[in-house]
Amino acid sequence: MADEVILLDFWPSPFGIRVRIALAEKGIKYEYIEEDLMSMKKSPLLLGMNPVHKKSPVLIHNGKPICESLIAVQYIDEVWNDRSPLLPSDPYQRSQALFWAVYVDNKIYAILRNICVKKGEEQEVAKKEFIETLKLLEGQLGDKSYFGGDKFGYVDISLIPFYGRFKAVEIFGNIDIESECPKFIVWAKRCMKIESVFKSLPDQDKLYEFIVEMRKKLGIE
């Protein structure tokens, strides 16, 4: 019997994009169910599958839910381990990939959100932290093509979905990211040439319009 794979997701979510990229990298067919989180009307399926956090994405494999995007990507890699690996097999290299993915999880989304929806000193603090974070990631990338070496993998999947929001960050934060962190942008453009990435990331203009609407809802515009 074939695996039943369902993804509960919200189209602009960088966390959901991670799971979409991982599924595409493995060539896994799945049913996509859109959750309209802007309306705050969460489906009974989402609430039933993720009763703790009540948020997407949720990967459902043969009726069993896997919550949190980094866990879902790791699960995909381990279950479909006969296909292109996303995590290193070496225990130390694997630990480093997990570390940097968690670092991205803990830092990037909150910083980008603060640049886009805050003003004044709070925004300035977020802008400074954003550039510092990208420079740190550039140092970790070094001269490698991808964070794990020559092959697109787990850390890249954890980070590249946020690239879709860079247009909004540059406009609302008045930042020229490429002039500040050119190596990071080269890496991002390299990732965007990968089929699983460019087919999974929404257009930057579409994401910019989404953030404009979000700002209006928050009373910023």
How many whole angstroms separate alpha carbon 179 and alpha carbon 175? Answer: 9
How many whole angstroms separate alpha carbon 85 and alpha carbon 88? Answer: 7
Ordered by start, the domain boundaries in the chain are: 5-79, 91-217
Strand pairing class (5-9; 31-34) = parallel
CA neighbor of 28 nearest in space, from 87, 75, 68, 88: 75
Q: In a structure prediction context, what are the per-residue pLDDT tens digits for the chain, which is 221 residues long?
A: 468 999 999 999 999 999 999 999 999 999 999 998 776 788 999 999 999 999 999 999 999 999 999 999 999 999 999 988 999 999 999 999 999 999 999 999 999 999 999 999 999 999 999 999 999 999 999 999 999 999 999 999 999 999 999 999 999 999 999 999 999 999 999 999 999 999 999 999 999 999 999 898 888 86
How many whole angstroms separate alpha carbon 81 and alpha carbon 92? Answer: 19
CA neighbor of 49 nearest in space, from 106, 102, 9: 9
Q: Is the pTM of this model over 0.85?
A: yes
- Domain 5-79 CATH (choose: 1.10.510.10, 1.10.10.10, 3.40.50.300, 3.40.30.10): 3.40.30.10
Helix and strand numbers (H, E) in the chain are 11, 4
**CATH node for 91-217:** 1.20.1050.10
